[in-house]
A and B are shown apart, each in its own frame.
Chain A
Amino acid sequence: MATSTTTQPRGSAKVNRLGLENAIYKGLESTLCNGCGHDSISSRIIDACWELGIKAEYVAKFSGIGCSSKSPAYFLSRSHGFNSLHGRMPSVATGALIANATLTGIGVSGDGDTGSIGFGQFKHAMRRNVPMVYIIENNGVYGLTKGQFSATADVGQELKHAGLNELPPIDLCLEALVADCGFVARAFAGDPKQVTELLKAALSFKGTAVLDIISPCVTFNDKDESTKSYSWGRTHNERIFDVTYVPSYEEITVEYDEGQAEEVELHDGSKIVLKKVDRSHDPTDRMAAIRLMEEAKSKQLFVTGLIYVNSDRPDLRDHEDLPETPLAHLPPSVIRPSKTSLEKLMNEMA
Chain B
Amino acid sequence: MAVEVQTKPAQAPLREPLVNDFSITIATKNGSGSQTANATILRALFKMGIPVSGKNIFPSNIQGLPTWYTIRVNKDGFIARKDESEILIAMNKATVIEDVQKMKPGTMCIYSDGLGYTPQRDDVIFYKVPAAKMAAASGLEGKLRGYAENMAYVGVLSHLLGIEYAELEAALNHQFKGKAKAIEPNIKTIKAAMEWAKAELTKVDPYRVQRMDKTKGMIMLDGNTAAALGAVYGGVTFAAWYPITPATSVAEALEYYLKQLRTDPVTKKPTYSVIQAEDELAALGMVVGAGWAGARAMTSTSGPGISLMAEFAGFAYFTEIPAVVVDVQRMGPSTGLPTRTSQGDVLPCYFLGHGDSKHPCLLPGSIKEIFEFAWRALDLAERFQTPIFLLTDLDFGMNQWMSESFEYPNREIDRGKVLKAEDLERLKGNWGRYRDVDGDGIGWRTLPGTDHPLAAYFTRGTGHTDRATYSEKPEDWEGNLERLNRKFESARKEVPVPVEDRVHGAEIGLIGYGSTDPAMVEARTLLAKKGIKTSYLRVRALPLSESVSSFIHAHERVYVVEMNTDAQMAQLLRLDTPDLAARIFQLNKNDGLPLTARWISESLQKMEA
Contacts and interface: CB of A to CB of B under 8 A. Distances in A.
Interface of A: 28, 56-58, 60, 62, 72-73, 77-85, 88, 90-100, 102-103, 120-121, 124, 128, 320-324, 326-330, 332, 334-337, 339, 341-343, 345-346, 349-350
Given A99-B294, A103-B293, A349-B220, A91 B282 contact: yes
A320 B238 CA distance: 11
A332 B412 contact: yes
Given A103-B449, A323-B267, A95 B286 contact: yes
Give the contact-size bracket for chain B: 35 or more
B447 interface: yes
Given A58-B449, A336-B409, A92 B455 contact: no
Contact of B449 (A60, A91, A346): A60
Contacts of A346: 219, 405-406
Contact of B292 (A56, A92, A343): A92
Contacts of A94: 275, 282, 285-286, 289
Contacts of A326: 294, 449
A320 B273 contact: yes
Contacts of B286: 91-92, 94-95, 98
Contacts of B232: 337
B277 interface: yes
Given A57-B449, A83-B462, A320 B315 contact: no
14 contacts: A58-B449, A81-B457, A81-B459, A91-B277, A91-B284, A94-B289, A95-B288, A95-B290, A95-B291, A95-B292, A100-B293, A121-B285, A328-B290, A335-B236
Contacts of B9: none
B221 A328 contact: no
B479 interface: no
B448 A350 contact: no
Nearest to A86: B311
A343 B261 CA distance: 13
Nearest to A128: B275
Contacts of B237: 99, 327-328, 330, 335
Contact of B271 (A103, A120, A334, A341): A334
A57 B456 contact: yes
B294 A341 contact: no
Nearest to A80: B448
A73 B470 contact: yes
Contacts of B219: 346, 349-350
A329 to B, nearest CB: 7
Interface string B265-288: 001011111010111011111111
Contacts of A121: 278, 282, 285
Given A95-B290, A99-B294, A60 B448 contact: yes
Given A79-B456, A326-B294, A95 B240 contact: yes
B461 interface: yes
A329 B406 CA distance: 27
Given A84-B461, A323-B264, A323-B270, A100 B449 contact: yes
B528 interface: no
A97 B218 CA distance: 42
The 6 A-B residue pairs with the shortest CB-CB distance in the complex, in nearest-first order: A91-B285, A95-B289, A328-B294, A95-B290, A335-B235, A80-B448
Interface in B221-269: 221, 229, 232-238, 240, 261-262, 264, 267, 269
B261 A82 contact: no
Interface in B443-465: 446-453, 455-462
B312 interface: yes
Contacts of A78: 453, 455-456
Q: Which of A80, A84, A99, A349 has the most CB atoms of chain B within a 10 A radius of its CB?
A: A99
Contacts of A83: 458-462
B218 A350 contact: yes
Given A99-B297, A330-B271, A82 B459 contact: yes
A99 B238 contact: yes
B296 interface: yes
A83 B458 CA distance: 7
B229 A80 contact: no
